[in-house]
Chains A and B, each alone.
Chain A
């Protein structure tokens, strides 16, 4: 018994080491950027607090979606429908507001409801009918992307002035003018974030608390760790799975609203490949695809790492000239490094046991 407990402790330790590595890598990456583009003579603005906050601003939707993806991956599944669902949400919002003149007060809850229904269908097929998550969510991906085109094939920009647009435009300044700089014209610039960032951060905290302290959250870990043991323990694994997919699609819909606030338009090619960004963020953050291991906070840092890579590449003139695909290569390489680290840790753990 004693030995078992010790093993458990070691397990937890090696997992928190993965998280520590993620955080460490993020700090290292940011420090590298700081010394390359924010120091002394060749300062280009990377040192500014605003640049750090911009990473949050551009990735607010991805943070939300990565939280949902983490939950799904915890149960050992995968959800590749998220990118298309975001596109569909954006299209519904923009067409609804721009072409049909519907109030966002109705549209936003409608989009969130669509997310829940979408997740419920996927969750039922996966949890109760036992179909592979990959196939079901792939069909969901096709469906949502096709529906986007059915609603409208053109790009629709939101120009109507309503609370949706006003909320998207609100700047939330840092308290106590933290990190304020005076620009060349002598105007004081106070760093700011916008409402989507705050919503995304609230989502991270809520999902974190849910996974840690609620029955549903803990059953997600249990189902992912070992489905049979979870079932023998008396957990309703089917229902847990269904709830997970509902949660993922719901969070994805929130992400869709945030995405729309950032882009203020809807197109059929929007958010292409967002699912893979969410998955890679979760993997970088230490979530195992086999399920049972992971942390929302890790995925959050994973998103930040991806964002920092993009920011670094955009600061480097030569890399930018090579084209927009360089961040992909760099983030693929980082993904490789992380996967290797995970594999090495898994092997070490096996040897210890």
Chain B
């Protein structure tokens, strides 16, 4: 019995403990719900092949959560290196999608139905979209790293302007690209949903970069103390700049995925409030929003947890507009448990208890 408690104590100190517990809780809620409803108990985990594509609730979560997961990668680096958040990612996503569609369809054209109507190859449009997002990241990074402006204020500029510029590019209209070749980014690749594959690729690329280079260590050291890292010979300005550029590029990728999903540039809605999800994912992943040490896996699990919560809520019959209430309560519960004051309180209680026991043992 005691060894189990000790093991639990040890495990609960691991960085991935919190995100995994959140996932587990969501899973249990789903199981209980299905059991009550009289469905197959593991309905949540069940997936099958339907019309040549994987189908099931868990697949849906992996599919729908892709954008947040892709954004969470960049956001983790930004939070870690600059102790601030990039609130422009949602807007930049929309800008990337709008630019891509505008380039493909031509300015002012609202519908593209045949391959011949395209103004340029699809990959050029996609790369341009991702590139412009990277430029936005560069701009944000310049303001934060070089001009020493608070990240939230610096990114507020593109938060306001990104979506608006996107609307100007598309002439205030929805631009539809009804082409299978374009829909593929938000559709399916063989039997897998493409967004999931793209998210997996992004995670893999980032993981390889972090494993093979010392970028991760540099980022953390800059986040913990920029001055000390500069004295130790790390170019902290360049590191922060790089983090923002990476974050921008990933928001571009997420923007293309989101655009392709609805095969249209809907500047008003693409990536709406997704910056909040991305930041939440980072916090849920056990990362401090105050910068410093980071855990990429935690952030990604956090992103999928948020999606799992959302999907579960829809499955439980919560209306879309009301879902934020439950999300808010869950977020508050999780951060309260993580908060230093509560941790200190429990440590104090434990110390008191042990002290009491020691006294009792002596007498």
Q: Which residues of A contact B (CB under 8 A)?
A: 78, 125, 128-132, 134-136, 138-143, 145-147, 149-150, 153, 268, 276, 279-280, 283, 289-290, 322-323, 325-326, 328-329, 331-333, 335-336, 339-340, 342-343, 346-347
Q: Chain B: interface residue count, which band?
A: 35 or more
Selected A-B contacts with CB under 8 Å, 21 pairs: A125-B336, A134-B279, A134-B289, A135-B335, A139-B331, A139-B335, A142-B325, A143-B329, A146-B321, A146-B322, A149-B319, A280-B160, A326-B168, A328-B161, A329-B165, A332-B160, A332-B161, A333-B161, A342-B149, A343-B143, A346-B148
**How long is the Cα–Cα vector from A322 to B332 in the complex, in angstroms?**
41
**Is B332 in contact with A323, judged by CB distance below 8 angstroms?**
no
CB distance from B19 to the nearest CB of A (A): 15
One of B164, B167, B327, B340 near A142 (C-beta < 8 A):
B327
**Is B153 in contact with A283, judged by CB distance below 8 angstroms?**
yes
**Is A146 in contact with B328, judged by CB distance below 8 angstroms?**
yes
**Is A331 in contact with B160, judged by CB distance below 8 angstroms?**
yes
The 7 closest A-B pairs by CB, nearest first: A146-B325, A149-B321, A146-B324, A332-B161, A325-B164, A143-B328, A142-B324
- The interface centre, meaning the residue of A143, A153, A280 with most chain B CB atoms within 10 A of its CB, is A143
In the complex, chain B residues 159-174 whose Cβ is within 8 Å of any chain A Cβ: 159-161, 163-165, 167-168, 172
**Is A136 in contact with B335, judged by CB distance below 8 angstroms?**
yes
CB distance from A217 to the nearest CB of B (A): 23
**Is B156 engaged at the interface, CB distance under 8 Å to the other chain?**
yes
**How long is the Cα–Cα vector from A274 to B68 in the complex, in angstroms?**
24
**How long is the Cα–Cα vector from A342 to B156 in the complex, in angstroms?**
15
- If A325-B163, A332-B160 touch, whether A132 touches B290 (CB-CB below 8 Å) is yes
**Number of A-B pairs, beta carbon distance below 8 Å:** 134
* Binary contact track B308-346/A, C-beta < 8 Å → 1, others 0: 000000000001011111111101100110011110000
**Is A332 in contact with B289, judged by CB distance below 8 angstroms?**
no
List the B side residues contacting A141 at CB < 8 Å: 276, 328
**Is B156 in contact with A276, judged by CB distance below 8 angstroms?**
yes
CB distance from B179 to the nearest CB of A (A): 26
**Is B143 in contact with A339, judged by CB distance below 8 angstroms?**
yes
**Is B150 engaged at the interface, CB distance under 8 Å to the other chain?**
yes
- The interface centre, meaning the residue of B326, B328, B331 with most chain A CB atoms within 10 A of its CB, is B328
One of B153, B322, B342 near A289 (C-beta < 8 A):
B153
In the complex, chain B residues 48-88 whose Cβ is within 8 Å of any chain A Cβ: 85
CB distance from A343 to the nearest CB of B (A): 4
List the A side residues contacting B339 at CB < 8 Å: 125, 129-131
**Is A323 in contact with B335, judged by CB distance below 8 angstroms?**
no
List the B side residues contacting A279 at CB < 8 Å: 153, 156
CB distance from B136 to the nearest CB of A (A): 12
One of A130, A276, A323, A339 near B168 (C-beta < 8 A):
A323
Please, which residue of chain B has its CB at the minimum distance from the CB of A269? B321
**How long is the Cα–Cα vector from A322 to B164 in the complex, in angstroms?**
11
**Is B130 engaged at the interface, CB distance under 8 Å to the other chain?**
no
**How long is the Cα–Cα vector from A279 to B157 in the complex, in angstroms?**
11
**How long is the Cα–Cα vector from A98 to B342 in the complex, in angstroms?**
44
Please, which residue of chain A has its CB at the minimum distance from the CB of B162? A332
**How long is the Cα–Cα vector from A136 to B172 in the complex, in angstroms?**
35
**How long is the Cα–Cα vector from A334 to B49 in the complex, in angstroms?**
53
**Is A323 in contact with B167, judged by CB distance below 8 angstroms?**
yes
**Is A280 in contact with B156, judged by CB distance below 8 angstroms?**
yes
One of A290, A328, A331, A333 near B150 (C-beta < 8 A):
A290
CB distance from A242 to the nearest CB of B (A): 13
**Is B165 in contact with A322, judged by CB distance below 8 angstroms?**
no
List the B side residues contacting A326 at CB < 8 Å: 164, 168
List the A side residues contacting B172 at CB < 8 Å: 322-323, 325
**Is A132 in contact with B289, judged by CB distance below 8 angstroms?**
yes
**Is A276 in contact with B157, judged by CB distance below 8 angstroms?**
no
**How long is the Cα–Cα vector from A346 to B146 in the complex, in angstroms?**
13
- If A136-B332, A322-B168, A329-B164 touch, whether A339 touches B157 (CB-CB below 8 Å) is yes
**How long is the Cα–Cα vector from A343 to B148 in the complex, in angstroms?**
7
**How long is the Cα–Cα vector from A128 to B344 in the complex, in angstroms?**
12
**Is B304 engaged at the interface, CB distance under 8 Å to the other chain?**
no
**Is A138 in contact with B326, judged by CB distance below 8 angstroms?**
no
List the B side residues contacting A143 at CB < 8 Å: 324-325, 328-329
Please, which residue of chain B has its CB at the minimum distance from the CB of A325? B164
**How long is the Cα–Cα vector from A141 to B327 in the complex, in angstroms?**
11
**How long is the Cα–Cα vector from A149 to B342 in the complex, in angstroms?**
32
Please, which residue of chain B has its CB at the minimum distance from the CB of A78? B152
List the B side residues contacting A125 at CB < 8 Å: 332, 335-336, 339
**Is B147 engaged at the interface, CB distance under 8 Å to the other chain?**
yes
**Is B154 engaged at the interface, CB distance under 8 Å to the other chain?**
yes
**Is B283 engaged at the interface, CB distance under 8 Å to the other chain?**
yes
CB distance from B155 to the nearest CB of A (A): 11
**Is B158 engaged at the interface, CB distance under 8 Å to the other chain?**
yes
**Is B280 engaged at the interface, CB distance under 8 Å to the other chain?**
yes
Please, which residue of chain A has its CB at the minimum distance from the CB of B325? A146
CB distance from A22 to the nearest CB of B (A): 15
**Is B164 in contact with A135, judged by CB distance below 8 angstroms?**
no
**Is B335 in contact with A149, judged by CB distance below 8 angstroms?**
no
List the A side residues contacting B276 at CB < 8 Å: 138, 141-142
- The interface centre, meaning the residue of B157, B163, B289 with most chain A CB atoms within 10 A of its CB, is B157
List the A side residues contacting B161 at CB < 8 Å: 328-329, 332-333
List the B side residues contacting A280 at CB < 8 Å: 156, 160
**How long is the Cα–Cα vector from A326 to B325 in the complex, in angstroms?**
33
